[in-house]
Amino acid sequence: MMVWPEGRMEFVCTAPAEEGKKEQRWLGEVMVKSHSMGMVELIIYGRDSCINAVIGKYMSGQYICIPDIDTGCPLSRLSDIFWNRERLSAHMNETDAATVAHALRALSGYTGRDWL
């Protein structure tokens, strides 16, 4: 049985620098609101955004759903920042996509697992 964190977890987000600029860094927080077998509801904070998300499993892997912006997509391993950020950035701005990808990695680090 997976143990989920209580309270907020802080993490550092980074985004690739545009040519001639420094890498961007900011703090984020993730809070597990609820969980059940194969599903976790999160609130993710970062750079003036508050993102409500649900991650879950389906027969092809795992997914994320962000109801407030009517979007969702498949996920790779929770720790795979590059792949998850690329998929998410097709549906939301780059900063929020990076924040969500780093939040997923923080969860993976806490639980010690890459899959729900």
- Is the pLDDT confidence value at 70 over 80? yes
Q: Which helix (H) or strand (E) covers residue 12, if one does?
A: strand 8-15
Q: What is the pTM of this model?
A: 0.92
Taking only the tens place, the pLDDT of each residue in 34-55 is: 988 889 999 999 999 999 999 9
What CA–CA distances, in Å, run from 13 to 8, 65, 70?
15, 20, 24
In Å, how far from its chain's centre is CA 74? 12
pLDDT band at 1 (very low <50, low <70, confident <90, very high): low
Number of C-beta neighbours around residue 33 at 10 A: 12
The CA-to-CA distance between both ends of the chain, in Å, stands at: 10
> CA 63, CA 71: separation in Å to the nearest integer?
11
- Domain regions of the chain by residue span: 24-111
